[in-house]
Every structure is written in C-alpha cells, then in structure tokens.
Amino acid sequence: MTDIKLERQENQSGDPEIATQGFGCISSKPLPVFNPVADLDAACEYFESNGFVVLEDCLNVAELTRLNEFFDRTQKEVPEKWGHGKRKPHHRNQGLIFSQPLLDYPELDDYICHPRSYPLVCRLLGGEDSVRFSELNLREVPEDAGIGSMDFHHDAVSDDRFLRAPYNPVDWLCRIHYLTDTVPGTPAFCVVPGSNRFETLKEARQSQGDDYQEVPIYGKAGTCILYDTATFHTRFDGDGRQKRRSWHQYFARGGWLKSSLPTTSRYVRSPSPALTDWNLFPERLVFHSDPKVRLLFSHWNTAQGEWVASGFSDEVRKSMPRGEQ
C-alpha cells in the first residue's frame, strides 16, 4: 500500500536567527506568469519543473464581482459557517474559512471546471478522465487580522513520488484564485520552487543550495496558482492590515496508469486516495445527469459513502465533521 502522509512540516531550521516562516531566502525576482490559453504548453512545462505555476486573468470582472458579493452576502447570512465570532479549531491562524460551500450553494457549480484554468488541471493530472474533485473552500484574511505566522508545510503526499519515473502526473493538485489584488504587504501564497521532490524543507534547502528560494506570489484579482500538494508552501505574512480573499480547490488523480516497464502487472500507479476523511459532495453533483460530472465527483471517502447510503440524510450530514447546515 502506498504510504500517504497528511501532515504539516514545521520549520526545521533550528536557528533562531532564521525567519520563522522558513530560511529567510525570500526572492524578489518576478515570476513568469502564463496565459492559460496561449501558453498552455509552456505553463505545463514550468509546472513539471517547479511544482507550481502562475496563470493570469483567470477570472473576469463580472466573475470577481459575483464571487466577492457571495463572500459579503454569506458572511452576513451565515456568519457561523465562516467562523465569525467563534474560530473553529481547524481554522486556527488561517483567518476565515467557509469549508464546504458547494453543499448549499449551487451557484458556485459553474466555477468548478472554470474554462480558463481547467484545461491545464486536466493536463497535469493525466487527462480529463483522470481528474477527480476533492474539495472547494473560500478563505479571507480580514483587515487587521493580527493572525500568527504559518510555517512552511506540504499537503497530502505519496512517498512513491520519490521512486516513480516519470514523476508526473501529480497525485493531488491545488488551484488557488486570488479574488482581491495581492501586493507586497498583503498576505500572499508563498512557495519553494522544486521542493516537491524533497522529504523536508531542510533537505530542499541543503540540496538546492543557492538556487533555494521562498517565493511570495503577488498578482491582481483573477490570478490563478496551481501547485502540486507535495510542494512546500505557506501563507506569507503581510503587514497585518490588508484583507485578502481567495478561492481554493483541490483535485485528485483518478484512474489507473499503465506501466511502460517490463513488470508482471499492466499497472503501476493506482488512483490517489481521498484527500480528506470529512469532505462531502452534494447529491446534485454525485448523481448529475452528465456522466462526466458524475465521474468528476466519484472520488468518495467513507463519510461520503455513508451519506449516500443514508439517502443524503440531513441528520447524517450534521453528525459529520464540518457538515453543519
């Protein structure tokens, strides 16, 4: 069985003179930004070399307006789902998070396979038939949040990434859209390029030497970042005064990859395991009339299986982590 790790890697420098969020090797060099249509091949090549890529203009003005209005409206209508007033234990030091908005808001369905970035998502996971939905959440670092630093960490990883050749397609992919302008002083997503090939941040620092960089990613509203969940990343602290809004979506790789090696089995890589044990998919998507949508939402965890078996019971949903209505 593949060894799956769902852990947080803490700062491992051991040196109090080094920045708490890493080794203090902050890069100020501008990153390449790709047009997701015209530069699709180049964006894919950059991702495969670095474990992440930045795409420009992935949301238009109307879409940004609708999504920001959704933030404003739901924070007034259901403030508890955002963590207003009482911070949820799983949201410590992360600002406000709406964990499972798809359960009750079909208006967000149109963004799941957004045409600007989704073709690249498909390429990186081995093709459209290999893409499986894992999670969608919305996040806000409020003005004057005063939240603490977040150490560099990776999300879900599979240890077989160190053994397989080729490395890609990845096991899990995260897609982040900035919904507000993110500039120096604003809390920003920060990544260590190429660190997905290392077990620890310290190992990446030692191996990469002078090439090691901690890169805060800035961009205007509508910017999209795709990253391999094995890539070390953090939320780079801003000045503590500016607000940032973002939409985060995770995908897993489904299907079986055929072997090109002379082994006894025709397959060497099984589908990626479920990303979490708590995330739920709504009935309208699980049993959608379009078989492609059903396939996208077929990557169930045990909680999802139990909820489906109950007939999507409200009581069963309420009993599950983050399943409150």
pLDDT band at 90 (very low <50, low <70, confident <90, very high): very low
Angle, alpha carbons 183-195-190 (nearest 5°): 15
- Can you give the residue ranges of every domain in the chain? 4-276
C-beta separation of 275 from 252 below 8 A = yes
The CATH T-level fold of domain 4-276 is: Jelly Rolls (2.60.120)
Dihedral sign for Cα 158, 161, 166, 172, please.
positive
- Encode pLDDT of 113-167 as tens digits: 999 999 999 999 999 999 999 999 999 987 765 555 678 999 999 988 998 888 9
Q: How far apart are CA 269 and CA 261, in angstroms?
A: 12
Residues 6+ apart with CB under 8 A from 83: 91, 96, 97
Give the count of beta carbons closer than 10 Å to the beta carbon of residue 321.
Answer: 14
Q: Is 55 helix (H, G, I), strand (E, B) or coil?
A: strand
Alpha-carbon distances of 190 from 203, 225, 294, rounded to whole Å: 18, 10, 34
- Encode pLDDT of 258-274 as tens digits: 765 555 556 678 899 99
- Encode pLDDT of 9-49 as tens digits: 334 444 433 445 688 898 888 899 999 999 999 999 999 99
**What confidence score (pLDDT) does residue 18 get?**
40
For the whole model, what pTM was predicted?
0.90
Amino acid identity of residue 110, one-letter, is: D
With a cut of 90, say whether residue 182 has pLDDT above it.
yes
Q: How far apart are CA 169 and CA 226, in angstroms?
A: 13
Q: How far apart are CA 227 and CA 50, in angstroms?
A: 9
Q: How far apart are CA 52 and CA 225, in angstroms?
A: 7
**What confidence score (pLDDT) does residue 8 get?**
34
